[in-house]
Homo-oligomer: A and B are copies of this chain.
């Protein structure tokens, strides 16, 4: 695009800030928006402007929200005594889609990673602690990732409530439902063995 339209070149550059988009994809997108579908281009520009200017973090759960307190936090779930801690807003979407949880959430937006300068305060641990105490919650389910940083974060949260009556649990890691043992990696299998449950319990 370089030589014949500085505006297009600028748009191609801007599109490349999107995750997973390189020069070729950005060029294809730019041409599509400018040449084939200007209407969508305008809608996208407006939606983006609006979201970037107005989307904020929920004051209670730190999830993205249009309002100071998000819809989930003001819903009937306000009554629930369970809270699930996740790393990203996408994790909330995934858990919601599963339909397996109907409590509150808390979004860390990351995990403990001292090397990147991410400590407890960046993850809003004080907010988490205050919320759990204020709302007299009974259980905190930690659903951070299984990376070493995710595990360290889980341990940190567990320590946070050690002197309280709050139960801190970790979601189970094991064989995916429908997965076959022979195709599952060793680490998951040993996790699954350690996390075994009696057949008559759940």
* Per-position 1/0 for A88-131, Cβ under 8 A of B: 11101100100000000000010000000000000000000000
Interface size in chain A (residues, C-beta < 8 A): 60
B52:A45 contact, CB within 8 angstroms:
yes
* Per-position 1/0 for A6-25, Cβ under 8 A of B: 11101101110111100001
Cα A40 to Cα B13 in complex, Å, equals: 10
Nearest chain B CB to A36 CB, angstrom units: 9
A72 on interface, CB distance cutoff 8 Å:
yes
A68 on interface, CB distance cutoff 8 Å:
no
Q: How many identical chains are in the complex? A: 2
Cα A37 to Cα B35 in complex, Å, equals: 27
Which B residues lie within 8 Å of A51 (CB)?
7-8, 10-11, 30, 33-34, 41
A193 on interface, CB distance cutoff 8 Å:
no
Which of A58-66, A137-145, A158-166, A181-189 has 4 or more CB atoms under 8 Å from chain B?
A58-66
Which B residues lie within 8 Å of A29 (CB)?
18-19
Cα A29 to Cα B14 in complex, Å, equals: 13
A1 on interface, CB distance cutoff 8 Å:
yes
